[in-house]
Chains A and B, each alone.
Chain A
């Protein structure tokens, strides 16, 4: 537990020293979400309809941008190898890294989403559901993304390859996350979608760290 927190603290410290990376991803989210109304038209009814999907896709893509950062720097300077041979099981250190990644990439998206939602004329209830859905979904994105990041460590063409590997796996999160907001808007209630999202998140919390650790060991051989 201590080791996990230590790794988390370390990753957060490193990000603080280079804030630009984090802010770039956040601005990417903002810009991409703003592009859609510019491309489609300002009609409020239409915007309200596309808002959940657009915001979720923006969140997915913004998360993708930051995934490589999870392991690449530590792999490059040998810290990752030290982590692998340390007495603490590598799984805990990976959990720490995923948690740090979420705090840096996911949480800001959750906090920024309502602001963007207002651009799309979403009502407060929908904004609340959106935040909750992203709160459940972004950790899922970080967990699954960790597997992809570990697999493509040090591989050429890594960034695009990472997207190809990870985006199909993100589809359930997208479907249930955006679906939650939509079903709230149409009056059906978001409960079902959110519970399913929570269920998938629970599954991922238990299995993704193991898969990512296995992938890391393969990359470190």
Chain B
């Protein structure tokens, strides 16, 4: 084999992935800072005041990215969990385990910022809008995944059981979203929906995209950092962990 070809599968071992992740983390932090700096500048200093919502609309620059990330992370988490289940790969399951808390945090922040947007715009902290309600259920799905894994002592069983929960959740999220949307249109409550935003100025769109990229890089950095801790916790009996510079006495 030519020594220019990288055998990617060698990184499927926790022992080789641990140092690789360590090297990758600062890169993602830098990217997050760059996208975030640029995105925040656009959000606060370039995007114009909205005609109908005044300055309050600026919350979308953090609300929409957190919502996107909460859903995206769930998909990625389910994919890793599925890989861990089908290929019997521990590291894939560890990645799923590492992603869950960050995803749950994104879901929570999406709900929080959604409430803070709803209060000035529609007068109530909570609106049973299809998206917010589905987001709430997504949050519960994350919590269920984390709770199940926390309560099973055997790590491999926890991995596989969590994978089933994540996969059943992935199938259900579209169904839940559709059913809540149906329910919402029949119970026409709030007359304004978050959907109905005016055709956005380009700067507004760019602001959202950049903030979303920022949160994406941040999430990757968090997942990689957390997976390193998980690897150490679960592989503590192995030789390579015992030989690590930070562990070796």
Contacts and interface: CB of A to CB of B under 8 A. Distances in A.
B53 interface: no
Contact of A218 (B137, B161, B178): B161
Given A165-B148, A172-B175, A215 B164 contact: yes
A197 B150 CA distance: 33
Interface in A181-196: 183, 196
A158 B182 CA distance: 33
Contacts of A205: none
A179 B165 contact: no
Interface in B149-182: 151-152, 156-157, 160-161, 164-165, 167-169, 171-172, 175-176, 178-180, 182
A171 B137 contact: yes
B202 to A, nearest CB: 38
A215 B161 contact: yes
Contacts, number: 75
Contacts of A169: 168-169, 172, 176
Nearest to B145: A165
A85 to B, nearest CB: 18
A157 B144 contact: no
B143 interface: yes
Identify the interface centre among B137, B157, B179, B180: most chain A CB within 10 Å of its CB.
B179
B151 A168 contact: no
Interface residues of B, number: 28
Given A147-B164, A168-B137, A171-B137, A152 B183 contact: no
A28 B140 CA distance: 25
B148 A156 contact: no
B20 to A, nearest CB: 29
B157 A218 contact: yes
Interface string A131-153: 00000000000000001000110
A221 interface: yes
B186 A179 contact: yes
Given A156-B151, A215-B164, A164 B180 contact: no
A179 B183 contact: yes
B164 A168 contact: no
Interface string A160-172: 0100110111011
Interface of B: 137, 140-141, 143-144, 147-148, 151-152, 156-157, 160-161, 164-165, 167-169, 171-172, 175-176, 178-180, 182-183, 186
Interface of A: 147, 151-152, 155-158, 161, 164-165, 167-169, 171-172, 175-176, 179, 183, 196, 200, 207, 211, 214-215, 218-219, 221
Q: Which 9 A-B pairs have the closest CB atoms?
A: A172-B179, A218-B160, A165-B144, A168-B140, A175-B179, A175-B183, A168-B137, A164-B144, A155-B151
